[in-house]
Structure 1
């Protein structure tokens, strides 16, 4: 038996007629408040940042609520994937992003190049990066800024 389902035109119209009203992003955000950042949440982030599984540390590096000292620690994580998550996180302070411009991994520097919160002086350094991909990402982001 096939798992492909074929709906009749009448069934498709009925689904369209009963489809939920789409909310704007602002309306959806108003309905789904983010939980407050509490001391216990920060304590959990600190604990998770030391986890042996790099995927867990990546989630901390992607957090908008981690304290600055935790971002600083994760900037020196041995896993490229953790540092890459940090490089693309818009909440990471500029000085930590600056330090990632010298990262040994072109993946980290590439994610840094597409982060719109990276300071201009870092973008200038990345424009001269030894890696072709990093330089092309800098050009791509620059072209987006000019077109927008």
Structure 2
């Protein structure tokens, strides 16, 4: 196999001119709207949350469309990975994040620490966590808030 280019300089210039321009996130989202959340989708999430495979339950815990009561159920899942997905999901209710800030798993508490929607009282608890990793994640997140925009 050869690495020789067969495009002429004129062809390469034509390809550059024809290349799509970069879209903003808003423009891309407008071109690819998310389908509406239907009752059947919510029913599927509820069924999948009961699957024996923890990776399937993780996908439910990662969905922004997961109902609040299902987040609460998945927060008690025996698998750390499922609880971690609940902890890092921005749609997880604050009460569930508070509960997960006391989780036995350092990994779960770490994901709670970096979730931007975790309540202040849970962050204060995590700032004094027994795990140096969790405490460092709390400090790292606080340092991001201290940085000027665009830094």
TM above 0.5, yes or no, is yes
Q: What does residue 82 of structure 1 align with?
A: 82
CA 80–6 in structure 1, closer or farther in 2 if over 3 Å, else same: farther
Q: Which consecutive residues of structure 1, in runs of 5 or more, have no partner in the other structure?
A: none
Q: What does residue 31 of structure 2 align with?
A: 31
Residues 89-138 of structure 1, C-alpha deviations (whole Å, 9 max, x = no match): 01011000000011111110001100000001000000000001100000
For residues 93 and 48 of structure 1, the distance between their equivalents in structure 2, rounded to whole angstroms, comes to: 20
For residues 33 and 20 of structure 1, the distance between their equivalents in structure 2, rounded to whole angstroms, comes to: 19
SS of equivalent residue, structure 2 residue 102: coil
User: How far 1:5 moved relative to its partner?
Assistant: 6.3
Is 1:46 equivalent to 2:46 in the alignment? yes
Q: What does residue 104 of structure 1 align with?
A: 104
Residues 54-102 of structure 1, C-alpha deviations (whole Å, 9 max, x = no match): 1111110011111111101100111111100110001011000000011
SS of equivalent residue, structure 2 residue 125: helix
CA 35–5 in structure 1, closer or farther in 2 if over 3 Å, else same: farther
Q: Which consecutive residues of structure 2, in runs of 5 or more, have no partner in the other structure?
A: none
For residues 31 and 90 of structure 1, the distance between their equivalents in structure 2, rounded to whole angstroms, comes to: 23
Runs of 4+ deviating beyond 4 Å: 4-9
User: How far 1:7 moved relative to its partner?
Assistant: 6.4
Is 1:129 equivalent to 2:129 in the alignment? yes
Q: TM-score, normalised by structure 1?
A: 0.92
CA 16–49 in structure 1, closer or farther in 2 if over 3 Å, else same: same
